[in-house]
Amino acid sequence: MQSAPSIQKLLDELERLPGVGPKSAQRIAYYILNTESSQAIRLADAIHEVKEQVRFCGTCFNYAESELCEICASPIRVHEQICVVSEPKDIMPIERTGVFGGVYHVLHGALSPLDGIGPDELKISELLRRLGSEEVDEVVIATNPNVEGEATAAYLARLIRPLGVKVTRPASGLPVGGDLEYADEVTLGRAMEGRLEI
C-alpha cells in the first residue's frame, strides 16, 4: 500500500538519519502524525533553530552559538590542558565523567588514507597553531581506540612532542575498536584519570 505523498516524503527524510531504518522511520512518522500540531511544530522549530544558530567555535571547533563555545569561554577551565577528540560528540562523554577540567580541540575526523582522509582534511594545523600561540602544558589525545584513532594519535604525538608539550592518551579501560560515545562514565573517567604519556 502506497503512503500519501507527504507521509512518504517524511519517511524518506527520516530514513536518511543515522541508525533509522524503515521500521523506525515509520514509528517516528506515525508518532508525529498522531501528536498535537504544536508538538510537531516545536520539533520543526528546534531543528530549524539549531541549523540557523549553531556554528563551530573559533578556537576548538566544537559546536557553539557564538564565536567561542561555552568551554573555551569559561574562565574556570584549565586552558593549559587540551583534550583532542575526533568529533564534537566525543566531548560529552568526557564531560560527564567530571574528571577533565581542561579545554578541547575537535579534529572533525580521524586519519583514514583508504577513505581519502589525510592530515589536510582534519583540524591538525589549527591545533598546531594553538600550541604555538597558547601556553599549553599537556595535550590529551582522546581519539577512539580503533585503527584510525590510534593512527591519528601516533601522528599527532610525533608532531607535538618536539614542541616540548606533554602528550598523553587515556589509559586502559576503553575497549579497542570501541567508540567514546558508547563508553560508560566510570570506565571513561578512570581512563582519563590514568592517562599515559605517549
pLDDT in tens, 66-108: 999 999 999 999 999 999 999 999 999 999 989 999 999 999 9
More confident residue, 13 or 196: 13
- The rounded distance, in Å, linking the Cα atoms of 39 and 185 is 32
User: For residue 1, is pLDDT > 60?
Assistant: no
Go through the chain and tell me how many residues it has. 198
Asked whether the beta carbons of 148 and 91 are under 8 A apart, the reply is no
User: For residue 65, is pLDDT > 90?
Assistant: yes
- The rounded distance, in Å, linking the Cα atoms of 128 and 132 is 6
Average pLDDT, the chain: 90
Note the pLDDT tens digit of each residue in 121-171. Answer: 999 999 999 998 889 999 999 998 888 998 999 999 999 999 999 999 987
Any idea of the CA torsion for 68, 181, 117, 149, to the nearest 10 degrees? 110
Q: Report the pLDDT value the prediction gives residue 155, as an integer from 0 to 100.
A: 96
Q: What are phi and psi of 117, to 5 degrees?
A: -105, 105
**Cβ-Cβ contacts under 8 Å for 106 (sequence gap 6 or more):** 56, 60, 61, 62, 84, 85, 86, 87, 88, 90, 91, 123
Q: Report the pLDDT value the prediction gives residue 176, as an integer from 0 to 100.
A: 60
Q: Report the pLDDT value the prediction gives residue 173, as an integer from 0 to 100.
A: 63
- The rounded distance, in Å, linking the Cα atoms of 183 and 180 is 5
